[in-house]
């Protein structure tokens, strides 16, 4: 595993760190927030770029799998995909392969990354029409096919304000999780994001605040436990 991956996938590299514990807390909160209406399909997005959504999602997916659920992480950012880079796997086949090949529907090109009950479906070759693809009937069939294999599917999509992709897919899933960057996300962008989700009747299940400074006393407590 490269240094970059070690830094990105903290839940693997340092599972007893405060950051990893924060992901486990998030997993628990999501479970309790969806007791009445289970969330099996969830979009993770952010208002704008460079807010850490893809790294956050990768670690959340790992944490959910570590908690005993079978998980598929799907890279639906068909403009600037990054999950294959984060996990260090090829991107020759993926979601878009399932769109155009019936054989891939029967045998999805899922990537194993060494974590039990966790699979990655990379984006695959980038299409000319991402939003139309994500809003298609074929996409609904892909979601249904993948749900037959696992307990939960997480979707990485582009920032919601930048393009329509996130809003289009948000209308097809059980819930949406937003990622904000402390000191980076503008208030009006957050408000606009909420309005866009309401417009498509998406269910907002929670929000994550990234880039928050660690409390040094908390870090010392975890260090003493190791």
Q: Does some domain include residue 79?
A: yes
pLDDT at 219 over 60: no
Average pLDDT of the chain is 88
What residue ranges in the chain does DSSP mark as E strands?
41-45, 71-75, 111-112, 118-121, 152-156, 175-181, 204-210
The first and second tokens of residue 31, run together, are 């479970």
Cα dihedral 20, 26, 29, 30 sign = negative
> Which residues, listed in sequence order, are joined to residue 30 by a DSSP beta bridge?
none
pLDDT in tens, 147-186: 999 999 999 999 998 889 999 999 999 999 999 887 777 7
d(CA 111, CA 146): 13
Residue 105, domain extent: 41-214
Q: Does some domain include residue 219?
A: no
CATH at 132: 3.40.50.300
> Which residues, listed in sequence order, are joined to residue 72 by a DSSP beta bridge?
119, 153
| Rg, the chain, Cα only | 17
Q: Does some domain include residue 33?
A: no
Q: Does some domain include residue 107?
A: yes
Strand bridging mode 41-45 / 152-156? parallel
Q: Does some domain include residue 35?
A: no
Q: Does some domain include residue 224?
A: no
> How many domains, in total, are found in the chain?
1
pLDDT in tens, 97-154: 999 999 999 999 999 999 999 999 999 999 999 999 999 999 999 999 999 999 999 9
């Amino acid at each position: 595993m490269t240094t970059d991956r070690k830094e990105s996938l903290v839940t693997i590299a340092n599972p007893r760190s405060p950051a990893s514990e924060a992901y486990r807390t998030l997993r628990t909160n999501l479970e309790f927030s969806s007791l009445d209406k289970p969330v099996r399909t969830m979009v993770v997005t952010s208002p704008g770029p460079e807010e850490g959504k893809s790294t956050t999602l990768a670690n959340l997916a790992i944490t959910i799998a570590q908690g005993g659920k079978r998980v598929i992480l799907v890279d639906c950012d068909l403009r600037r995909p990054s999950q294959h880079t984060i996990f260090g796997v090829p991107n020759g086949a993926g979601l878009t392969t399932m769109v155009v090949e019936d054989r891939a529907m029967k045998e999805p090109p899922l990537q194993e990354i060494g974590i039990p009950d966790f699979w990655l479906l990379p984006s695959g070759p980038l299409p000319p029409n991402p939003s139309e693809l994500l809003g298609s009937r074929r996409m609904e069939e892909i979601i249904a096919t993948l749900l037959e294999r696992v307990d939960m599917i997480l979707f990485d999509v582009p920032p919601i304000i930048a393009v329509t992709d996130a809003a289009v897919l948000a209308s097809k899933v059980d819930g949406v999780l937003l990622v904000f960057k402390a000191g980076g996300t503008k208030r009006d962008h957050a408000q606009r994001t909420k309005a866009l989700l309401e417009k498509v009747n998406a269910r907002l299940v929670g929000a994550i605040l990234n880039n928050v400074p660690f409390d040094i006393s908390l870090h010392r407590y975890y260090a003493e436990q190791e």
